[in-house]
Amino acid sequence: MIEPDAKANLEQTALAVRHPSGLHARPAARFVRTASRFASDIEVENLTRRTHPVDAKSILSILTLGVEKDHQIRITAEGDDAAEALDALRRLVLAHPSSDGDEWA
């Protein structure tokens, strides 16, 4: 678990999930693929359901969060590329879904 006060290269952001499916199935897989591109430790928690933070690079962990459309999530990244990781994940979460609603464009 990332300790916010103990790490130097720590970045956090809180956002509302806009995808109609939340972070389920394909959107969750896309989120995990994006997080996995970075060396930083990345965690995500569902603020709406008050879940504990989970590994953003694990599809099973992401699915256990039960993130639905309009749920608030917090993403925390710690490492040399934390700012870039959060920027990429923020853009993904805030993007409008494709016309079929299955994946982010």
- Burial grade of 11 (CB within 10 A; 0-12, 13-18, 19 or more): buried
Residue 20: partners with Cβ closer than 8 Å, 6 or more residues away: 69, 97, 101
More confident residue, 76 or 21: 76
> Catalytic residue at 24?
yes
Rounded Cα distance, 65 and 48, in Å: 10
Whole-number pLDDT of residue 97 = 67
Alpha-carbon Rg for the chain, nearest whole angstrom, is 13
pLDDT score for 95: 87
Q: Where are the domains of the chain?
A: 10-94
Say which of 19, 24, 52, 96 is annotated catalytic.
24
- The percent of residues above 90 in pLDDT, for the chain, comes to 76
Question: What was the pLDDT predicted at 98?
Answer: 58
Q: Is the pLDDT of residue 99 over 70?
A: no
pLDDT in tens, 25-69: 899 999 999 999 999 999 999 999 999 999 999 999 999 999 999
Question: What totals of helices (H) and strands (E) does the chain contain, helices first?
Answer: 3, 4
Q: What are the tokens at 32?
A: 């995990």
Is residue 2 classed as helix, strand or coil in its secondary structure? coil
6, 38, 39, 40, 66 from 72: Cα distances, Å: 24, 23, 25, 22, 11
Q: Can you identify the CATH homologous superfamily of domain 10-94?
A: HPr-like (3.30.1340.10)
